[in-house]
Structure 1
Amino acid sequence: MEQSMETWLPHLHNRPRLLIVDDQPTNIRVLHELFREDCDVFMATLGEQAISLCRTLLPDLILLDVVMEGMDGHEVCRRLKADPATQGIPIIFITAQRQESDEVRGLELGAVDFISKPINPTIVRARVRTHLTLKLQNDLLRSMALMDGLTGVANRRKFDEDLLADWRQCFREQKPLSLILVDVDYFKRYNDRYGHLAGDGCLKSVAQALSETVRRPYDLVARYGGEEFACILPNTDLRGAVELAEKMQRNIRSLGIEHSGSDVDRVVTISLGVATLVPTAVLEFQALIVAADKQLYEAKKTGRARVCSSFSDECPIESGRL
């Protein structure tokens, strides 16, 4: 009796996402029937459609036909492996081609496996199980490598990766990208007065409160360095980003963490700098960091425990978080 995918992958909180790419509806139906009980199955019949779906869905595994109308599977694989956003998705070629040179070419392009048609359902399920398990393990290791060990939020490396990816995505869509930089007010004094153990506890509490304030799955809260945090908000205009920053400020203050060494309050507070840009071909993503950092400096210079913001004239500010 075959095991279910739940038995294969007991640590997955969500069902695996499987993308089937084939220009023959019959082949898609066979594979869909094989995995529909255990996976969220998505389908594409054209190469361009498959690439677009991959960028949107980020599937856990792709079953990809080689011979298709228009763009063939080899070119689909090449493009996915050339894109940092999709290059980590494992690809299994499923094809009627049986020459050794065909298999070698597919593996050289970056595929993890090669299955010949007509398929053997038991073999296909076993290989999908193996590669989904490996994908899960790699995702867990990568997640650990991109997490700040103290606070549990994303680390600076993850921040840098996501900001670049979101900048490129917002450039393609011509959508605003917002960034909030956060600094814990008079944190050195806090450490000096209460000790570094209490300081670590304070940073953990701040990180958790910031994370709970951000609701959308594609927004990111990261530890930027020391007592500084950052929040990346794709498809968010200035008004929406400022509203979120003000909510962050209120939520941190409401924690009620005693800070008798502060000049602005008797509890821990934060200063926030907010900037919004619509990416253009002449701007680098660092321009957004510079703009947010300038506003954070302004917030600290003008009294702390406040939000300062700026936006490009190209940015809409009337519609809030999109």
Structure 2
Amino acid sequence: MKTSLNILFPDAFRADSPRPRILLVDDQMINILTLNEVFKEDCDVFMATNGEHALEQAASLLPDVILLDIVMDGMDGYTVCEKLKSNPLTSGIPVIFITAHFDEVDEVRGFELGAADFIHKPINAVITKARVSNQIALKRQTDLLHSIALIDGLTGIANRRQFNQAIQVHWQQANREKSDLSLIMIDVDYFKRYNDHYGHPEGDECLRRVAHAIKTSLQRPYDLVARYGGEEFACVLPKTAPDGAAFIASQIQTSVHGLAIPHAESGVSPHVTISMGVVTTIPGSVIDNTADLIEAADKQLYQAKKDGRARACFIELK
């Protein structure tokens, strides 16, 4: 009798939820094909036949769960799991080991490395579906709670905590790939004067509208805008060269200007304006850590304010 995943755990497979993504890792294609038959009806299934490819797939796809064979040529499943758990980008993905042997010592080692469960060959479709469904449901609940904890309550964008996590992840990835990483620090000009003149409720609404304008100016799903603190925002732009960062800064400036929020006490413009500091680097070339990257962007932001506000200042450090 066929048992669907959404029957076993309906809350994880609602019609309004995206299909779960499963990564199957095994150096024997027959095993991958067997598991694919189990999950293809309910899930988007991806495959890797060696450890190196599995790590690449996991980082790019960010699947909901990984089914990982232990015994493989080259990099074995234990090593793959260890590398997955050491990478902040993939550390939260549940790993279920697939093994033909039942050995308590091996299972203890697997759990110590961060495995979520074990499934034994030969594959029992009902048991396998139930265990995978359980891990997907748990992950989605965890992701939901995690996302709530990382959202700024006033503006609805990422908060400082999410910014701190994201910039570390993107820094490490850019360092591995030797690719550009750009950061924009943004400040609402003379916001204290705005609050004093219009009142805090209007000030809150101003921040919400500015945050939305910044967010809609970012074009890629992995670009991040966060409320850094008070009236200050930050944009993390992975794989973005100086000209690309300048273009995004221009888009943000145009979007905020288009809001035409009155600011009678500005002294710069009759409307709300922003100042920006923009830095682009390749991690390790000149800057060695994210703290120095933030400091460099802050210095450019300070220079933009010193030069008259309502503008952006740029620097390339690589």
Q: Does residue 143 in structure 1 map to residue 147 in structure 2?
A: yes
Deviations 1:230-288 (A, max 9, x none): 00111111111111111111111111111111111111111111111111166222222
Aligned length: 313
Q: For 2:16 and 2:58, locate their aligned partners in 1 and report how far apart those are by CA, in whole Å.
A: 20
Mean Cα deviation higher: 83-92 or 100-109: 100-109
Task: Say whether the 8 Å CA contact 2:13–2:19 is kept in structure 1.
Answer: no
Q: Separation in 2 of the partners of 1:172 and 1:108?
A: 26
Aligned to 1:308: 313
Structure 2: tracts of 5 or more residues without a match? none
Q: How many Å separate the matches in 1 of 2:76 and 2:216?
A: 44
Residue-by-residue CA offset, 1:123-151 (whole Å, 9 max, x unaligned):
11111111100000000111111111111
CA drift at 1:100: 2.4
Deviates more, 1:67-76 or 1:176-185: 67-76
Is contact 1:61–1:132 with CA below 8 Å preserved after alignment?
Answer: yes
**Matches of 1:29 and 1:285, distance apart in 2:** 43
SS at match of 1:20: strand
Q: How does 1:1-322 map to 2 (within 5 A)?
A: 2-5=3-6, 7=10, 8-10=12-14, 13-280=17-284, 283-312=288-317, 314=318
Q: SS of the residue aligned with 2:313?
A: strand
Query: Is the 8 Å Cα contact of residues 5 and 130 (structure 2) preserved in structure 1?
Result: no
Counterpart-to-counterpart distance in 2, 1:12 and 1:19: 22
- One-letter code of the match for 1:98? F
Contact 2:184 2:277 in 1 (8 A): yes
Superposition RMSD in Å: 1.5
- Cα separation, partners in 2 of 1:12 and 1:128, compared to 1, 3 Å: farther
Deviation per residue, 1:147-177 (Å, 9 max, x gap): 1111111111111111111111111111111
Distance 1:11 1:214, change over 3 A: farther
CA distance in 1, matches of 2:80, 2:176: 20
Q: Distance in 1 between matches of 2:210 and 2:149?
A: 21
Task: Tell me the TM-score normalized by structure 2.
Answer: 0.94
Shift of 1:103: 2.2
How big is the shift at 1:10? 1.5
1:72 Cα deviation after fit = 1.2
| SS at 2:174 equivalent | helix
- The residue matched to 1:223 in structure 2 has which SS? strand
What is the TM-score when the length of structure 1 is the normalising length? 0.93
Kindly provide the CA deviation profile for residues 3-62 of structure 1, in whole angstroms up to 9, marking residues without a partner as x. 354944227642211100111111100111111122111111111211121122211100
12-21 or 68-77, larger mean C-alpha shift: 12-21
Residue identity (%) = 56
Aligned structure 1 segments of 4 or more residues deviating by more than 4 angstroms:
none
Tell me which amino acid in the other structure corresponds to 1:197.
P
- Whether contact under 8 Å (1:5, 1:39) holds in the other structure is no
Partners of 1:168 and 1:243 in 2: CA distance:
24
Q: 1:12, 1:145 → 2: CA distance?
A: 22
**In structure 2, what is the Cα distance between the partners aligned to 1:278 and 1:106?**
36
Q: After alignment, is 226-235 or 84-93 more displaced?
A: 84-93
- Deviation at 1:101? 2.4
- What is the deviation of 1:85? 1.8
Paired residue type of 1:175: S
